[in-house]
Amino acid sequence: MSKAIRLSVLPALDSLEKLAEVLHRLAWYCAPFSGAGLKVSVPVTQSLLEAPRLKEKVLANCPEPFHPCCIDTLNANWEIFDFVADQDGRLEEAAVIICVDHSAAELVLKRYPALELAVKRKEVHKVIIDTEANVFEAAELPETFAKVFPAKREEGVSRVYFSHFIKKLQEQGIEASLLLAPGHSCETIDLSKFHNTTLVVPNTLIGQEHILNHVGPVVAVIGDPYFCGVSRYGGNYRRVLADFLSRENRLFVTQIQYLRYFLQDTPKNLHQKMVGVPTRFEGFPPARVNLDLTREFVCVDAWNVTTSVAFPVACSLGRMLLLAGLDGREKGASAMWASHRAAEHDTIGRSHGGLVQADNEEYYARHEASLAVYIAQAELDGKRPLSLTPSLYRSVMEKYQSKSS
């Protein structure tokens, strides 16, 4: 029997509300590995440790912004948690340290010089789920678990599923891809004219009726960790995704570290339509990018679904690349993108607080620079990128062809 891999939570939790939040969050992200010997040490105060019907009380206190699926997930995986009165939570056995309060956790770690050194050397992983201290909380848990539990089997299966989808497109004689981003201009595109084109749609467009009813092949591309996370919005979105995948000529692609969370919340009969692609980092803007997943099954992480995943998917599926809906963003706009609905932003933000702390201006500038690299590479690869809608992105506008031209 393999040795258990232990996570330790820091610091000790002293309220039922905080315990419920942490357990519902961790259960969701730990669930795919519960059968792999994963154990989580959770230090709590003596009053919580001795509280009658603790499980019942915790399940009844799932945070309101979390999707109800988190309650079922915690109930099914309760046994992975070890509640301990030891305030340091069996730290010396930990492969991963989960920091609920970053400042307090750092004070605890200072009592363990050898462990602190192991963290600095990355021999022991440290994940900060204190959203006041880490704006990337939603991404770091999946990324850390991908290092501790490498997704080699999922990667191999995904490569096969992706190849099969490409073969089906070739048999249908489909050679062009339309990357349809969610900018307002996407609504001006008449999709009935593109029945012989593979439609590649990122994130929020997937539930739109005109997308669901598109007669040609459609690939849903999701690259944001919030869609596979604990929020009500994320859970509702995954149900829309399942409806999308239940139709013919559909495929779903995401980064490999997020795939397992979509799989655990999607009917098994749809899993053969779900693909996870490994990623690597090449700087900002990327020094080089890969737009042919048939040659090298890896995406370059550019911190945006359009560049990181949608571009390489669209270029891999078609000999010609069409673009639409890449409107860009007015300087100083309050929302990240013009298409971002405030209600969605709020429900995600209350579950993953880091989203609302992100610096929109810096993020946008990085994305614009990366987008120029991807378009240039598509040109070099002979994909002849052409934008069907105008854009505030200079690199996209240079490829714009108006209806009158």
Q: Which residues pair with 221 in a beta bridge?
A: 202, 253
Residues found in the chain: 405
- Token pair, residue 198, equals 């593979």
Question: What is the C-alpha separation between 269 and 115, in angstroms, rounded?
Answer: 44
Sign of the C-alpha dihedral computed for residues 62, 68, 69 and 75 taken in this order: positive
- Range 100-134 burial, b when 16+ CB lie within 10 A, else e: bbbeebbebbeeeeebbebeeeeebbbbbbbbeeb
Residue type at position 269: N
Quick one: tokens of 125? 């992983």
Q: The tokens 């259960």 sit on which residue?
A: 27
* pTM of structure: 0.90
Query: How many whole angstroms separate alpha carbon 309 and alpha carbon 303?
Result: 10
Domain boundaries, the chain: 5-134, 152-397
Q: Measured between alpha carbons, how far is 160 from 49 in angstroms, rounded to an integer?
A: 48
Distance of CA 212 to the CA centre of its chain: 21
Q: Return the half-sphere exposure (C-beta side, CA atoms, 13 A cut-off) of residue 340.
A: 17
Residue whose pair of structure tokens reads 């201009």 in the numeric block: 185
Domain 5-134 has CATH 3.30.310: no
User: What CATH architecture applies to the domain 152-397?
Assistant: Alpha-Beta Complex (3.90)
Q: Return the bridge partners of 299, or none.
A: 279
Per-residue pLDDT 10s for the chain (405 aa) are 356 799 999 999 999 999 999 999 999 999 999 888 899 999 999 999 999 999 999 999 999 999 999 999 999 999 999 999 876 657 888 899 999 998 988 888 888 899 899 999 989 999 998 877 777 788 899 999 999 999 999 999 999 999 999 999 999 999 999 999 988 898 889 988 888 899 999 887 888 877 777 878 999 999 888 899 999 999 999 999 999 999 999 999 999 999 999 999 999 999 999 999 999 988 777 888 999 999 999 999 887 889 999 999 999 999 999 999 999 876 655 555 454 444 555 556 566 655 555 556 777 788 888 899 999 999 999 999 999 999 999 999 999 976 544
